[in-house]
Structure 1
Amino acid sequence: AAFAAASLRATVASASGAPAGSAAGAATAAGATNAILEVRSLDLVAPVIAGAPPRPTLARGVTFELRDDWPLLVTGPNASGKSLLGCYLLGLLPLPRRAPGARIAFPRGGGVGAGGGARPPLATLMAAPQRAYLPRGTLGNQVCYPEEYAQEQPESARWAQEEKMLSALQAMGIEYLVSREAKGWSARRRWEAVLSGGEQQRMGLARIAYHRPRAALLDDCTSMVAAAAEEGLYWGLLKDFGVTPMTLTQRPFLGDLHHEELRLGLPAPLGWQLVRWSA
């Protein structure tokens, strides 16, 4: 409801062309010094499978910036390119060869050029997918992954790490997991079988709160969390941990949190639109 109540202030770029008259006009604030990532002229094209016909281009020339404290919502129906965009940003896929001018950059370190495949620094961008990866190991390892919960480290260092992990769990409403296990942080379980779907998703967010990257790619990562709790989790990442959300979802929500919306899957020549919102 809050999202529907938000007023459209300006269409920064769209499939019919940027009002400023160029792809650069699609950037949220060209030359902004607080840019976390910059995407320029990116075509969303699914990878070609050997022996299969070429895949269609889902969107052409996608251009935008993600800035500190300026959350971005990415919406679109199934198969519109949301998760594909996430794979490009995380360096999991090479950039399409048919778009040689495409560029993904992280101004303060890391970047993906025409070849793609380079992953951004952990301190810059982390992801929380719909189903969090739960590695084998202790409860502590679930929170600090890909770090290790080192039980044999000096006592002062272990206490500091445990305090940091507990703060992350508290922010996501699952601090009770520590007391629920007889061995606390050292408990070893098949966590995918022990934690509920909602707890697993909260664990994925707690992991981001623990590491405090500049931005988080949140791909429908609260679909199994009660709707009444979702808003607090997202605001907690932004306000308490300084993490700027980039939210990928089919449903427009949290309009008070997100300042811009990248719409994919539009029936237009370029198939995307970048919209700035204001309350």
Structure 2
Amino acid sequence: MPSLTAINLGRDIAMEVLAIEAHQNRLWALQGEEATADEETISGELLLCVQRFEAFLARWDGEVLGLGAGLEEGGMEEIEEGEVKEDEMEVDKDSPSPPPHGPERPQRLDPTAINAISVGDIGWAPLPRMAATSRDWFVPSQYGQICIKVYPFIIVKKMDDCMIGMPITTAGGNGLTNKMESLRARSTYVVGANFRGKNDVPYGWGMGPKEMNLEVDRTAGAYEPRAGAFVDVLDTYQIPYNARWKKEGRLTHTSRVDLLRMRHAVLEKDALGWRG
């Protein structure tokens, strides 16, 4: 039987996760409309939800798991990377590939680091996900188990208080092979020296040139996409500047331009009622 503290904190964490999703959906609904004031209000509320989520998670680590150390700043620290990643492969076919050597505790950003970020940068950040199974380090709630996964993100937009990123997933190395046509229509592979994409399934036909890949700049950092790495250009998340973040690479200049073209094409078609 979980303790009263665990029950209450699990409830609070789950509520913040739902609130974060609701605010993200509200922001998405306002895209393309002249609602700047509303966007600023919702963005501020979303930031508060994320801050409360991190605070509750810090309490969970300290009061329920007894980790305590390193949580005084009110943020969350990553669990042992190998253990978490191994479990994610069992829980979620879309689990991210393990970082090549980390991330070694992605750091909170200072003003200089924020100014240095640009569209097309790739880095690691935590993201809450609902889990299909139960593990000791998952957060229980009345809605199910919540786990924190560390994903590589491609930054697609910078805002005053946050950045917007797309998570790179692999589908267990299968990429887009077994995905629905609508997802393949708005998705593209992220390729590098060791992964050059897949040609066994059509993709990207809703975005412009068919089967156009995004290329990682091999001189820009340590990130190397794993087999099956792809992004859904509509699958974006807010990454507050006070969240954990570690940059490890970027797209080539050409691919950064292509990425903006892809998103524009899909958003334009979506606004006109296109659903793939």
Q: TM-score, normalised by structure 1?
A: 0.30
Q: Which is greater in Rg? A: 1
Greater fraction helix: 2
